[in-house]
Amino acid sequence: MIKKYIENSNFEETGFYYTLSLISGKHKMIILYCLMEFEVVRFNELKRYLKKITDKTLSNNLKELEANHLIIRKEYPQIPPKVEYRLSDRGRSLMKVLDQLCVWGENNREE
């Protein structure tokens, strides 16, 4: 079933490519893992976990994750602002699969 995509040079249309596109970039996976572990997390909290990320990059990543419906953004209209992020059901189901990659990596690390 993959073969026909390869022969047509349409790899970008495979489910695999699609899945990876959702988590492309350097930080998205860490964000997702943070949300998985800590459930509900605020912007600056995430920033601390990610350590070296800039506001702009974090902001962009969160927007893309939200656009792909992997996370849910909840804004409280107050001063100072407060925004919470959490996994959506869709995000959680993706994490289950990604966790398999984690397990494989643990078991197959070299040297």
Stretch touching a copy of itself by CB under 8 A, among 14-22, 54-62, 72-80: 14-22
Rounded Cα distance, 102 and 17, in Å: 18
Cα 49 → chain centroid:
14
Judged by CB under 8 A, the chain residues 70 through 99 that form the site for a copy of itself are 90, 93-94, 97-99
Among 22, 32, 35, 53, binds DNA (CB under 7 A): 53
**Piece in contact with DNA (CB under 7 A), picked from 4-12, 31-39, 45-53, 103-111:** 45-53
111 in contact with a copy of itself (CB under 8 A): no
Burial letters 65-98, b for 16+ CB under 10 A, else e = beebebbbeeeeeeeeeeeebbbbeebeebbeee
Contact status: 44 vs a copy of itself (CB under 8 A): no
